[in-house]
Structure 1
Amino acid sequence: MSVSVDPTADPTSVEPSGNESAEALRPHAEDAFADELAALAAQDDRPRPARWKLSPWAVATYLLGGVLADGTVISPKYVGPRRIVEVAVSTLATDRALLLLGVPGTAKTWVSEHLAAAVSGDSTLLVQGTAGTPEEAIRYGWNYAQLLAHGPSRDALVPSPVMRAMAEGATVRVEELTRMPADVQDTLITILSEKTLPIPELGQEVLAVRGFSLIATANDRDRGVNELSSALRRRFNTVVLPLPESVEAEVDIVARRVDQIGRSLDLPAAPDGIDEIRRVVTVFRELRAGVTSDGRTKVKSPSGTLSTAEAISVVTGGLALAAHFGDGVLRAGDVAAGILGAVVRDPAADRVVWQEYLEAVVRERAGWTDFYRACREVSA
């Protein structure tokens, strides 16, 4: 017997008040970019897969940015190769699940959220993978008061985000898939291959309706933690998100995100902050690569990832320092402590790496004297 699960029956759901979205520290993508999504939907005359809010072309435009026929500017949410986004979107238009793979900080979660927002208009169907994620997070749980009072019944069942997405024909996100225990991961095999979720306690099953899709993310540095079984990996189309190709591309990404975050926190825009952003990005890229940008000097790499996401955090922290304890202008002293915290994760080994880089590279670089002094001051 097949049944459709009514997501409104979830006893754990809470309806937000009318102004929560405006006051949220970090609004969901579908709320933060509601105007852009509405403009795309209004002008999107291309074929849409079942239950999609936009056509695949419009979803890709939403992520990559562009200018619509009426002059509406769509801001880029992802800066990277267009083909990567096109492959990801076309995967969701089939019956295959999508796995976004990459090193930390390559915007896997960011891309998955915006894909779900553009495709389904809802990015909140989310399973966060951790070492303690139970099987119920993928399948379903029970309201134990109802279960004890009346036994297994539909009213006692608490659907997971995956079950709700199957019933609604929506997109569900599974973050950090390889952080989940292997037996929990494998719960997805039947869902992805048979498009069904059995409920043996009720003698029923939930069949996925058209429009259902699943986006998972995984960190490719987590190999050996809980690697995907070959059976599960075959159920995914894998798209690898690369690090930004150039300094300018990464500077652009960091500047855009810092501006968005700063506006949400009511921080003033930092005039001339792009120079400090470029310095932070240059330091991170050189330490990641183990060689300076001109290729002349080899440097040691620290234990941390020094991702684009961490660069965004360093610059945002520096902007807050400049706004609240400075003159509002982002300077080297505002980002120095953040860089030290990002680089020196291992107090012994990483501190040596950082000191060598400061003396061999930063000290000798023209125009970086203020940056060198600021970093030396916080490193002392």
Structure 2
Amino acid sequence: MTGTTGVATDSGTGAEQALRPHAEDAFAAELKALDAADDRPRPARWNLSPWAVATYLLGGTLPDGTVITPKYVGPRRIVEVAVTTLATDRALLLLGVPGTAKTWVSEHLAAAISGDSTLLVQGTAGTPEEAIRYGWNYAQLLTNGPSRDALVPSPVMRAMAEGRIARVEELTRIPADVQDSLITILSEKTLPIPELGAETQAVRGFNMIATANDRDRGVNDLSSALRRRFNTVVLPLPASAEDEVDIVTRRVDQLGSGLDLPAVPDGATEIRRVVTVFRELRGGVTEDGRTKLKSPSGTLSTAEAISVVTNGLALAAHFGDGVLRAGDVAAGILGAVVRDPAADRLIWHEYLETVIRERDGWKDFYRACREVSA
């Protein structure tokens, strides 16, 4: 399931100026309170115990009354398995469809465990081996030859040396030969530097969180040797409409605050409508189970619902009357649903005419969607 946040409460001057502060900055007050209240055993170089890390992600109230906002809404066991994995010598692979908060969970796990979520490798089709192993300062390399001073450590190499959590985003988008450079790192906990006849050994506290989109199967599948180095945790879509509405509401509130958008009252109706449309179309059936639907080509994830509502919030605040209405979210829904102009437009039109048009209390939503779909 996808992630949620509360409002950032304790950040430094630089973090306050950042458009999107790192988790360890945005939630510094919560992390500090957890550290003070945490009397349970902590693995080597962990800032918090596994119990406190899980509490940070799932939310709760500490003995002193401090409220820890939930960062993730979903089964507790999923978070517990993920945290426990990182306390062993196994790396963690977060798998799921787009929009299930894989990156969000990865960032918050690293922030709670290491106090640093920035040791990140972004996987793409062009990610080179140097991004995972190390590179060179070529000016120094040409002047003095290979040396430690000329070596440029990757985020993974730094995490190994400092006993922290490294993050690899979109692992299956990285070319297979580059992926395989992780095998020695994860199995032997060492990174050879043959040019110097040396190596960097991982110190206690080091581990890795990788994320992968399960719709990218076949892009660059993980080898069986690499997959064995990971414990895989699948992050599902929200189980209920109520959970998804809660997630979208929390995240929109936090994004709106970060973007200095004026507060817009009474947005619950449109948020529930957006969530309902997304859940029905991606599930291929209406909420009451009576009408089967064709699903469009897009994922219609919770993350996309958050984006649609946030954009609608901006429209209502800056160009509307201050109340989030159907017309503020209609264009965003159309853009999320109609990815293939030919096939998806037919699916959307059929859904509008056979489901939305006949739904009690949705006449304004139907008219707004028809207007932008024309």
TM-score tier after normalising by the smaller chain length = over 0.9
Matched, 1:91 2:85: yes
Match of residue 177, structure 2, among 167, 179, 183: 183
Q: Which residue of 1 aligns with 2:252?
A: 258
Partner of 2:139: 145
- Classify the secondary structure of the residue corresponding to 1:39: helix
Which residue of 2 is the match for residue 203 of structure 1?
197
Distance in 2 (alpha carbons) for counterparts of 1:68 and 1:327: 40
State whether structure 2 residue 215 is matched by structure 1 residue 221: yes
The amino acid across from 1:333 in the alignment is: G
1:282 aligns with 2:279: no
Residue identity (%): 87
Residue identity matched to 1:160: S
Which of 330, 335, 342 is residue 341 of structure 1 equivalent to? 335
Correspondence 1:379 to 2:370: no
User: Where does structure 2 lack aligned partners over 5 or more consecutive residues?
Assistant: 1-11
For 1:227, what is the secondary structure of its paired residue?
coil
The Cα offsets for residues 312-334 of structure 1, whole Å up to 9 and x where unpaired, read as 00000000000000111110000
TM-score computed with the length of structure 1 as normaliser? 0.95
Q: Report the CA distance between 1:274 and its aligned residue.
A: 1.0
Deviation at 1:306, TM superposition (A): 0.3
Name the structure 2 match of 1:245: 239
Match of 2:39 in 1: 45
Task: Tell me, in whole angstroms, the C-alpha distance in 1 between the residues paired with 2:83 and 2:187.
Answer: 19
Partner residue of 2:6? none
Cα distance in structure 2, aligned partners of 1:125 and 1:255: 30
Provide runs of 4+ in structure 1 moved above 3 Å. Answer: none
Q: Distance in 1 between matches of 2:108 and 2:245?
A: 21
Amino acid of the structure 1 residue aligned with 2:15: S
1:235 and 1:289 map into 2 onto residues whose CA distance is: 33
- Residue in 1 that maps onto 2:312: 318
Q: What CA RMSD, in Å, does the superposition of the two structures yield over aligned residues?
A: 0.6
TM-score, normalization by structure 2: 0.97
Query: After the TM superposition, which residues 68-217 of structure 1 pair with which residues of structure 2 at under 5 Å, given as runs?
Result: 68-217=62-211
* Alpha-carbon distance in 2 for matches of 1:209, 1:78: 29
- The 1-side partners of 2:207 and 2:327 are apart by 46
The CA distance in 2 between the partners of 1:192 and 1:270, in whole Å, is 48
Aligned to 1:292: 286
> For residues 355-370 of structure 1, what are the structure 2 equivalents within 5 Å?
355-370=349-364
Greater alpha carbon shift after TM alignment, 73-82 vs 260-269: 260-269
SS at match of 1:165: helix
Superposition deviation, residue 269 in structure 1: 2.1
1:268 is the counterpart of 2:292: no
After superposition, the C-alpha distances for 1:223-253 in whole angstroms (9 at most, x for unaligned) are 1100100000000000000000000000000
Specify the alignment match of 1:232 in structure 2: 226
Indicate the residue corresponding to 2:4 in structure 1: none
How far 1:20 moved relative to its partner?
A: 2.1
Letter in 2 for 1:106: T
Using the alignment, how far apart are the partners of 2:171 and 2:68 within structure 1? 31
The answer to whether 1:64 aligns with 2:58 is yes
Partners of 1:30 and 1:270 lie apart in 2 by 28
Structure 1 range deviating more: 58-67 or 262-271: 262-271
